């Protein structure tokens, strides 16, 4: 049983392991040969271009946000709503409270005491309190009966049913079916992963041998025999003369500019 399972798992796992190793190798190659050389340029671009652009964009967004969502509402609150609330609402309400409600309250306190508060106290003491105590006793009795029914009629029979009817078949199923199947599948997966790793390492070694033996010598010869002489020729006969000519032109322009400034300066002072 283990050998067919291992063969099937190996057929499934080997392509996955090869794909994982290939992606890891590609990631290392991209990081080593592409990202590492471009890191200074990316850092300079981020510090001198992207960061100022980001700060400028954030400043513009903050100003636009304040212009649209903050300053109009602040002005509306400060110059319209606050004066309106102060002189149009608060002042009349204060006058109404002082001159009308206060006097009405002083007159209505005795009336409320003898017409409403004392009768309500009597109703609370002699009617509502006995009703509340009786309702509390009735609720406690009903809750105790409900708990007794739940424990003795539902809880204990359910526990006995789970313990003696449902649990034994499930335990037998786990012990004799599921657990051996999971152990077999785990061992097959471990074996297939190890075999896939060996196949991947062997394939990587073969590709490395092909690169070192068949590709690296022609590439090295092409670099040494063609690219290096051509680069030196371009550097000696094109780049250096062009750089020298540009430097000489720059020096000539600077000297001409200085001579023009020297000639214009005395004439300006004489004209003054």
Give the pair of three-digit tokens for residue 155: 């809880």
**Each residue's pLDDT tens digit, 107-121:** 777 777 777 788 888
What's the pLDDT score for residue 6? 60
pLDDT band at residue 58 under the 50/70/90 scheme: very high
- By the 10 Å C-beta count (0-12 exposed, 13-18 middle, 19+ buried), 159 is classed as exposed
Calculate the alpha carbon distances from 80 to 65, 75, 85 in Å.
22, 8, 9
Question: Reduced to 3 states, what is the DSSP secondary structure of residue 1?
Answer: coil
* Claim: this prediction has a pTM higher than 0.85: no
Query: For 140-158, what is each residue's pLDDT tens digit?
Result: 999 988 988 888 888 888 8
If residue 83 lies in a helix (H) or strand (E), which one and from where to where?
helix 82-83
What value does the mean pLDDT take over residues 248-271?
69
Query: What is the rounded distance in angstroms from the CA atom of residue 228 to the CA atom of residue 75?
Result: 72
CA pseudo-torsion sign 120, 123, 125, 131:
negative
Q: How far apart (Å, rounded) are the C-alpha atoms in residues 42 and 55?
A: 18
DSSP for 70-120 reads: IHHHHHHIIIIIHHIIIIIIIHHHHHHIIIIIHHHHHHHHHHHIIIIIHHH
Q: Which residue has the higher pLDDT, 128 or 99?
A: 128
Question: What's the pLDDT at 117?
Answer: 81
Tens digit of each residue's pLDDT (9 = 90 or more) over 156-171: 888 888 888 888 889 9
Asked if 200 and 17 count as a contact pair (C-beta separation under 8 A), the reply is yes
User: Are the C-beta atoms of residues 21 and 202 closer than 8 Å to each other?
Assistant: no
Residue of 28, 20, 8 lying closest to 199 (CA atoms) = 20
Confidence of residue 7 (pLDDT cuts 50, 70, 90): low
The pLDDT tens digits for 201-256 are 888 888 888 888 888 888 888 888 888 888 888 888 888 888 888 888 888 877 87
Model confidence at 75: pLDDT above 80: yes
């Amino acid at each position: 049983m283990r050998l067919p399972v291992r063969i099937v798992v190996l057929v499934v796992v080997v392509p996955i392991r090869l794909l994982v190793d290939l992606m890891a190798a590609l990631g290392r190659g991209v990081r080593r040969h592409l990202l590492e050389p471009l890191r200074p340029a990316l850092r300079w671009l981020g510090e001198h271009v992207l960061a100022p652009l980001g700060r400028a964009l954030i400043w513009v967004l903050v100003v636009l946000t304040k212009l649209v969502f903050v300053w109009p509402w602040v002005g509306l609150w400060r110059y319209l709503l606050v004066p309106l609330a102060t002189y149009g609402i608060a002042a009349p309400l204060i006058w109404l409270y002082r001159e009308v409600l206060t006097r009405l309250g002083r007159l209505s306190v005795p009336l409320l005491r003898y017409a409403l508060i004392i009768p309500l106290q009597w109703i609370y003491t002699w009617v509502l309190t006995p009703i509340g105590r009786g309702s509390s006793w009735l609720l406690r009795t009903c809750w105790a009966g409900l708990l007794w029914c739940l424990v003795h009629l539902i809880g204990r029979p359910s526990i006995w049913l789970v313990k003696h009817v449902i649990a034994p078949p499930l335990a037998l199923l786990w012990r004799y079916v599921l657990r051996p199947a999971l152990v077999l599948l785990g061992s097959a997966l471990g074996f297939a992963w190890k075999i896939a790793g060996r196949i991947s390492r062997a394939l990587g070694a073969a590709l490395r041998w092909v690169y070192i033996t068949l590709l690296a010598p022609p590439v090295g010869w092409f670099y040494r025999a063609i690219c290096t002489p051509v680069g030196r020729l371009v550097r000696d006969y094109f780049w250096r003369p062009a750089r020298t000519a540009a430097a000489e032109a720059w020096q000539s322009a600077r000297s001409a500019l200085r001579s023009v400034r020297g000639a214009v300066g005395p004439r300006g002072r004489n004209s003054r």
